[in-house]
Each structure stands twice: as C-alpha cells, then as structure tokens.
C-alpha cells in the first residue's frame, strides 16, 4: 500500500502542469507576435495593410479587456464599447478645446475611470444574465448620451479632426506604438490574472458563496476587476480615436459590444492570444471580405457557428487542447515502448487511472 501511494504521487507530480513552462510558452507566444509585428513593415506591406493591422491590434486590445472579465471572473460584459467610446469622446473633446496631447490623455483616462466605476458600481452585486443586462443597459445609456449631449459630443455627426501626437503622425510610427501597447497590456492582464488577485477572482467565478464564507468581499473583487478591464478598454478607445481621427455615437453601439464578445469566443475565452485571433477574423471579414461579399455578416455568423460546433474552446483554446492531446499520446506511446512487467499497468495507464 505504501509503495503504491509513493508511486501515485510521483506520477501526479510528473504529469502536473508546470507554471514555469506555461510562463515560458506565453512569453514565447508574445515574442512571436512582437517579432512578426516588427517585421511586417519591412516585408513590403502597404500602408493599407499596416493601417488594417493597427485596427486589428486596437480591436484585440479592447477584446482583451472583455476576455479578462469573462475568463478570470466569469463576467460577460455587453457594454465595453461604451467605455471605449467614452474615452474616445474625452480625448476628442479635449482636442476640440485646443488642449495638448498630455491633457487629451488625462481627460480620456479621467472619463474612463469615472465610467468604469459607474459600470462596476451598478453591476458588482449581480452575476450571470443580470450582470449581462446591467452592462447592456449602461452601454445603451452611454450611447444615448452621445446623441443627447450634442454640445459636447457633436450629436450624430460626432467629432472629427482629432489629431494624435505629432511624433506619431507617420502611420508606421503609430503602428509600432499600437503594437507595443498591445503587447504590454496583454502581458499586464496575464500577470494580473496569475496573481493572488486573479486567483481570488477565479474563486469568485467558480463559487461566490464559498468565497463569501471564507471572508472575501466578492463585490469589491468584481469592482476591482471591472476597473482594470475598463482601464484597458479606455486605452483602446484612445488609440482608436487617434487612429481614425473621428468618433461618433456608433462607437458606443450595442453591435460593437457584441462584436467584442464574438472576438473573444472565436479566439477562446481565457486564452492569451485568443482576443487578437478573434479580432483578426472579425476585422478582416468586416473590412476586406465586405468588399467582395455583400452579405459579409452572414459569413461571419457561419464562421461563428462552425467554431461553436467544432471548436468550443475557440481557435486558440482548441489548438492548445489539440497540442496537449498529441503530447499525451506521444508520452503514452513512449512509456509503452519502454515496456512494463506482465500483469502490471504502464506509467501512462496509472496516471490516467489516478486522474
């Protein structure tokens, strides 16, 4: 009995996930994205391709904020487009008042924090479908204010002519800046997700009642998560208005928030690079395929259905599962080749039984 117990512990330790290996893999993935992004302008990409890639990176940054809430806290938001739009309107209003770049950034961040706090305050004591509906309602409120406060927002005409900093006027300089922001924010969200705060947030996601019984303030953790996620969304909105030089109420529309959720699900909820993969699919369909196919939303819907049916963990999540499955089969075959005494299970069989 004691020998079997020791053997079981050894097998479980050997087969357990290694945080160091996971860290190295995630760093390698971010490194690959950074290397490909840096090399893109040198590979003969046109200015349109660089601009489109900037759009994908900005959308991926905004989708990462939704992915953080959904993956770590189990909170699916239908109002993040409103947070990004509020930040964009803050920067655009400051630009129209003749303020410099620093003041534009400060106004945008201030508006982002206020709106994110309102979102979090109204939704921190809800969960599930009720959280979804509260964020949807607040998002629609931002959308309505963008129309009604025409003296500030320009009404349905929006605000145009928003200038980005002079040193980012060149499209390729702005592209590199967006790439750097995406990599830094993605890494920051991953670090927060793997911190004690992230572990507590996952505990709230799995069982709020148990976390309350352990003395955790569930509402505070939800509010903190929303503030972190909203801050990333606000930065994405600032980059978006610098990219397009324009903001209108459509930026806060419900369809924009729905597209963000589609991006997250397509890429894989809770994965590191899922948001950028989903953003690439949605942006390319919306901006490239739409030039050839009038019913591009139907194509996007079909892609979404196929992913839900055949890759429920999303593109990145299903790819990770496939790699892990291949690795397990390879380790089992190698263990089987080594042989074991007749009548005794192999190491891989014991590991499977113990799991």
Q: What is the pLDDT of residues 241-298, one digit of tens each?
A: 999 999 999 999 999 999 999 999 999 998 989 999 999 999 999 999 989 988 999 9
- With a CB cutoff of 8 Å and minimum separation 6, the contacts of 43 are none
pTM for the structure as a whole: 0.86
Q: Provide mean pLDDT across the span 75-84.
A: 94
Q: What percent of the chain has pLDDT over 70?
A: 88
pLDDT averaged over every residue in the chain: 86
Q: What is the pLDDT of residues 12-68, one digit of tens each?
A: 334 434 566 777 777 788 888 889 899 998 888 889 999 999 999 999 999 999 999
Q: What is the pLDDT of residues 201-253, one digit of tens each?
A: 999 999 999 999 999 999 999 999 999 999 999 999 999 999 999 999 999 99
What pLDDT shows up at residue 330? 84
What pLDDT shows up at residue 6? 38
Q: Provide mean pLDDT across the span 162-187.
A: 92
Q: State the angle between helix axes of 274-287 and 314-338 in degrees (0 to 180), rounded to the nearest 10.
A: 130
Q: Tally the C-alpha atoms within 13 A of residue 177's C-alpha that lie toward its C-beta.
A: 18
Q: What is the pLDDT of residues 98-126, one digit of tens each?
A: 898 899 999 999 999 999 999 999 998 88
* 213 alpha-carbon distance from chain centroid: 30
Torsion angles phi and psi, residue 328, rounded to 5:
-65, -40
What pLDDT shows up at residue 337? 62
Q: Provide mean pLDDT across the span 310-326.
A: 87
Where does the pLDDT of residue 87 fall: very low under 50, low under 70, confident under 90, or very high at 90 and above?
very high
Residue 183 has pLDDT above 50, yes or no: yes
Residue 355 has pLDDT above 50, yes or no: no
Please say whether the beta carbons of 222 and 202 come within 8 A: no
What pLDDT shows up at residue 182? 95
């Amino acid at each position: 009995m004691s020998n079997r117990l020791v053997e079981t512990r050894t097998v479980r330790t050997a087969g357990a996930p290694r945080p160091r290996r996971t860290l190295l893999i995630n760093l390698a993935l971010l490194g690959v994205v950074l290397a490909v992004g840096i090399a893109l302008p040198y590979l003969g990409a046109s200015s349109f391709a660089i601009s489109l890639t900037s759009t994908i990176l900005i959308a991926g940054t905004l989708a990462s904020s939704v992915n953080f809430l959904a993956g770590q806290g189990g909170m699916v938001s239908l109002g993040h487009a409103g947070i990004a739009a509020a930040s964009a309107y803050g920067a655009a209003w400051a630009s129209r008042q003749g303020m410099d770049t620093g003041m534009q950034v400060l106004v945008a961040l201030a508006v982002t924090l206020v709106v994110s706090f309102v979102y979090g305050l109204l939704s921190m004591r809800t969960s599930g479908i009720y959280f979804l509906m509260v964020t949807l309602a607040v998002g629609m409120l931002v959308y309505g204010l963008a129309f009604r406060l025409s003296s500030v927002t320009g009404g349905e005409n929006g605000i145009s002519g928003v200038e980005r900093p002079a040193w980012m006027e060149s499209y390729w300089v702005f592209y590199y800046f967006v790439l750097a922001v995406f990599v830094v924010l993605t890494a920051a969200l991953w670090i927060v997700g793997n911190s004690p705060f992230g572990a507590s947030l996952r505990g709230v996601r799995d069982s709020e009642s148990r976390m309350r019984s352990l003395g955790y303030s569930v509402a505070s953790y939800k509010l903190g998560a929303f503030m972190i996620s909203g801050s990333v969304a606000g930065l994405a909105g600032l980059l978006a208005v610098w990219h397009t030089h324009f903001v209108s109420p459509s930026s806060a529309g419900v369809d924009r928030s729905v597209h963000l959720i589609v991006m997250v699900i397509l890429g894989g909820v809770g994965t590191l690079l899922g948001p950028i993969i989903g953003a690439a699919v949605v942006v390319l369909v919306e901006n490239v395929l739409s030039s050839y196919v009038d019913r591009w939303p139907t194509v996007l819907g079909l892609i979404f259905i196929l992913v839900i049916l055949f890759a429920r963990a999303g593109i990145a999540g299903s790819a990770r599962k496939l790699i892990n499955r291949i690795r397990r089969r390879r380790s089992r075959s190698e263990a089987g080749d080594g042989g074991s005494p007749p009548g005794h299970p192999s190491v891989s069989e014991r590991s499977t039984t113990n799991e």
